Chains A and B, each alone.
Chain A
Amino acid sequence: GIQVEQSPPDLILQEGANSTLRCNFSDSVNNLQWFHQNPWGQLINLFYIPSGTKQNGRLSATTVATERYSLLYISSSQTTDSGVYFCAVERTGSEKLVFGKGTKLTVNP
């Protein structure tokens, strides 16, 4: 099956700092989503981004499908950004969304 690798596995920031999270995948995809799992376990969809660039407030994401990677940018981080960020992809021709292992982000005040 498709492989999804996220980096870094852990990231600690001071409030106000910027960060970039990376997701590499091993095959062509027709679906890529970024999720945030808060400390209470709730998974929230951040972006549906199989290609191109999107922005939502302090968050933006870019997927370069031809090079099989996606980036999630967090600017001016806040303590509420803490949690685990997951990348999930669906290989072209499949209808199965496969998750990476996540990046655990801790934002300190």
Chain B
Amino acid sequence: EAGVVQSPRYKIIEKKQPVAFWCNPISGHNTLYWYRQNLGQGPELLIRYENEEAVDDSQLPKDRFSAERLKGVDSTLKIQPAELGDSAVYLCASSLVGSFGANVLTFGAGSRLTVL
């Protein structure tokens, strides 16, 4: 079974430029998450989707960040324009709630963004 696939793995851009990250979750997982991990910190949730509906986007900086999950499968996360403080690793995860209600997340390898 393929895991969560993310691209690109690395991206270097100048500030004020746009950038987009793509995620393909595990087949059949209806819940998809985007997390941001700053250096030396734990991941922080940006947005959570259940199917194609964004059910928690309270931590997404909506002035410059946007996300979409068309057809409830793949998702993209966009930053426009990027700022120096956006340098971080952007992690995508997916999950399927099990028969006992367990919500176990599987993470992709992440996309490392450097803004110069």
Contact = CB atoms under 8 A, between A and B. Distances in A.
To the question of whether A and B form a pair in one complex, the answer is yes
Interface of A: 4, 30-31, 33, 35, 40-45, 48, 86, 88, 90, 95-102
Contacts of A88: 42, 105
B56 A95 contact: yes
B103 A45 contact: no
Given A96-B56, A99-B44, 6 more contacts: A31-B103, A41-B109, A42-B107, A90-B103, A95-B48, A97-B33
B42 A99 contact: yes
A43 B107 contact: yes
Nearest to A47: B104
B45 A33 contact: no
Contact of B43 (A30, A44, A99): A99
B110 interface: yes
B102 interface: yes
A27 to B, nearest CB: 17
Given A90-B103, A95-B56, A43 B45 contact: no
Kindly name the residue among A42, A95, A97, A99 whose own CB sees the greatest number of chain B CB atoms within 10 A: A97
